[in-house]
Structure 1
Amino acid sequence: MADLDYNRRNKQPRALSEAEKSRLEEFVDSIHYSSRYNDDEYEYRHVQLPKNMLKAIPKDYHDPNTNTLKLLWEEEWRALGITQSLGWEHYEVHEPEPHILLFKRPINYVPPGQ
């Protein structure tokens, strides 16, 4: 698998304002998390956002060339209301269905300090 193209994310995490967070709150309970699946190196899961949630996500989280979300920093996807254990990295957006975000982390991931 190719390394992440870091040009597809904001240069640094972009925090949400309180107003932006409040616009997203109504969608949080409708976020769907897939089961995990894996290959020899990574475990994967996809996170399906409610389609209407994309309209409430700030424009600078979106890639103007593809009209999909950029690759999100952990601080960004957590601010959207996505909750997962540590170590997950947003590595791709499923362009035909831009509300589906793909995540991966190394198999047997151990958080730092454990």
Structure 2
Amino acid sequence: MATMDIDYTRRNKKPRLLTDSERDKLDEFVDSIHYSSRYNDDHNEYRHVQLPKQMLKAIPKDYFDGARGTLKLLWEDEWRGLGITQSLGWEHYEVHEPEPHILLFKRPMNYQPPTH
């Protein structure tokens, strides 16, 4: 797999956080989110996260790319707000367009979180 750059034009300009009522609508789906095993190439490790299809109907419209009909590329604060839980360093880099409920994530191999 070639290294893929992230198309930041497919994101909101800044993270758009969920309101409490929006988050409440998503809570019922969190236990049904499926996380793939990790796989890798020479540079990155990858995983995909499969959201329950019904969950897409509860996600706010401004999280979607109207032209593509899929979710935008989400900032970490946005995907964590949806209830996706994974360790640090993962970046949402693509949506699998034939199956828009599948989000693709990557992070550098041997990622080490910054120490403060």
- 2:50 corresponds to: 48
Q: Residue 84 of structure 2 aligns to which amino acid in structure 1? A: I
- 1:68 corresponds to: 70
- Detail structure 1 runs of 4+ shifted over 3 Å in the superposition: none
- 2:30 corresponds to: 28
Q: 1:98 aligns with which of 97, 100, 103?
A: 100
Q: Please, what is the CA RMSD of the aligned residues?
A: 0.8
Q: Give percent identity, aligned residues only.
A: 76
- Give the TM-score normalised by the residue count of structure 2: 0.97
- Give the TM-score normalised by the residue count of structure 1: 0.98
Q: CA deviation at 1:38?
A: 0.1
Provide the C-alpha distance between the structure 2 equivalents of 1:106 and 1:64, rounded to a whole number of angstroms. 30
Q: Residue 41 of structure 2 aligns to which amino acid in structure 1? A: D
Q: Deviations over 1:38-70 (max 9, x none)?
A: 000000000000000000000000000011000
Q: Residue 58 of structure 1 aligns to which amino acid in structure 2? A: P
Does residue 111 of the first structure (1) align with residue 98 of the second (2)?
no
Provide the C-alpha distance between the structure 1 equivalents of 2:6 and 2:80, rounded to a whole number of angstroms. 19
User: 5 Å matches for 1:79-98?
Assistant: 79-98=81-100
Structure 2: give runs of 5+ residues left out of the alignment: none
Q: CA deviation at 1:2?
A: 3.0
Provide the C-alpha distance between the structure 1 equivalents of 2:61 and 2:32, rounded to a whole number of angstroms. 21
Provide the C-alpha distance between the structure 2 equivalents of 1:2 and 1:44, rounded to a whole number of angstroms. 11
Provide the C-alpha distance between the structure 1 equivalents of 2:69 and 2:98, rounded to a whole number of angstroms. 11
Secondary structure of residue in 1 paired with 2:18: coil
